[in-house]
């Protein structure tokens, strides 16, 4: 493999990381920001108030996106294993 092919494989790996983890992290960030704004507005500084809703929404998001994430990762690893099998 030459340098350009290695860079292309690395770009593909990063893109798959972004596709699988991005939605869950974006939802967690949005919920954390929303809870932070509510806590700042009401002056409630309870640590479980920020953790429990974020945990629940992240778990729900992972449950809803599990099929998409599994398909994306399966396609990527099939591609990777095909590339390894075709190396000379």
Q: What is the mean pLDDT of the chain?
A: 92
Which band of pLDDT confidence, cut at 50, 70 and 90, is reported for residue 66?
Answer: very high
pTM, entire model? 0.79
Strands (E), 1-88: none
- Model confidence at 1: pLDDT above 90: no
Write out pLDDT tens, residues 26-55.
Answer: 999 999 999 999 988 988 888 788 889 999
């Amino acid at each position: 493999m030459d340098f350009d092919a290695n860079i292309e494989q690395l770009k593909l790996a990063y893109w798959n990381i972004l596709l699988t983890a991005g939605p869950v992290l974006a939802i967690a960030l949005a919920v954390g920001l929303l809870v932070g704004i509510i806590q700042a507005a009401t002056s409630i500084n309870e640590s479980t108030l920020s953790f429990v809703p974020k945990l629940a929404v992240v778990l729900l998001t992972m449950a809803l996106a599990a099929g998409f994430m599994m398909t994306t990762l399966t396609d990527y690893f099939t591609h990777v294993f095909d590339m390894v099998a075709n190396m000379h």
